[in-house]
């Protein structure tokens, strides 16, 4: 499978910009965001398009000519889908001990807790709520998420993930997001609300934390 790291730095920046703007961007918008010329943007789009990572569509504009917008194709999104082997190993180990489809949600929650346990020693070193949140975002990025955290108001924070590392699994198996929720809840010792989901046609995954981080 082709990975993001095999692209040049400028192309990595371009596909990351498209990941963070799921509705698509024009050549001018990409040129402005990346601080490179329109010609350079077009060259990168042509190369990425020939590899199947970019798709385009015409956008009707009011009072002007239609413009072309570019977005990531399913193959382009897969550039960010990494670390399946780590998850698959835990999944197979757990399923061997706990057969039965009716317990799938319990299985996924348990896997999330096991995943969190792999990072428990790192979390215990973080003393403040802010440090714990930063460490969780760092862990998520290491696992392949493009993640960030933002405080919306006092006592209310959201973790935003612009991609889902389990996208294909979550598409196929309803309720797979229970793993993500259990993973984050176990790391942060708080309840997590899944406010928006990429698999359910959201622009990103949004995990809301409405209580102090433990």
pLDDT tens, residue by residue, 145-159: 999 999 888 788 999
Domain with residues 90-209, CATH architecture: Alpha-Beta Complex (3.90)
CATH 2.40.30.40 fits 4-80, yes or no: no
Residues spanned by CATH 3.90.1520.10 within the chain? 90-209
Predicted pLDDT at 62: 63
Predicted pLDDT at 71: 96
Predicted pLDDT at 96: 65
Q: Assess whether pLDDT exceeds 60 at residue 85.
A: no
Give the helix/strand (H/E) hosting 207: strand 205-209
């Amino acid at each position: 499978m082709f990975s993001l790291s095999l692209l040049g730095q400028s192309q990595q920046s371009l596909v990351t910009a498209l990941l963070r703007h799921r509705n698509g961007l024009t050549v001018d918008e990409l040129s402005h965001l990346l601080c490179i010329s329109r010609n350079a943007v077009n060259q990168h789009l042509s190369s990425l398009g020939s590899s199947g990572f970019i798709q385009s569509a015409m956008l009707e504009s009011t009072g002007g000519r239609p413009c072309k917008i570019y977005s990531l194709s399913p193959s382009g999104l897969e550039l960010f889908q990494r670390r399946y082997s780590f998850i698959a190993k835990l999944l197979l180990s757990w399923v061997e001990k706990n057969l039965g489809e009716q317990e799938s949600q319990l299985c996924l929650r348990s896997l999330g807790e096991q995943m969190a346990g792999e990072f428990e020693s790192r979390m215990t070193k973080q003393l403040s709520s802010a440090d714990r949140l930063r460490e969780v975002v760092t862990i998520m990025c290491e696992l392949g998420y493009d993640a960030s955290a933002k405080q919306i108001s006092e006592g209310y924070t959201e973790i935003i993930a612009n991609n889902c590392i389990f996208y294909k699994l979550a598409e196929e198996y309803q309720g797979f997001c229970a793993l993500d929720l259990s993973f984050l809840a176990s790391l942060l010792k708080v309840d997590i609300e899944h406010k928006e989901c990429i698999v359910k046609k959201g622009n990103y995954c949004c995990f809301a934390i409405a209580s102090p981080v433990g």
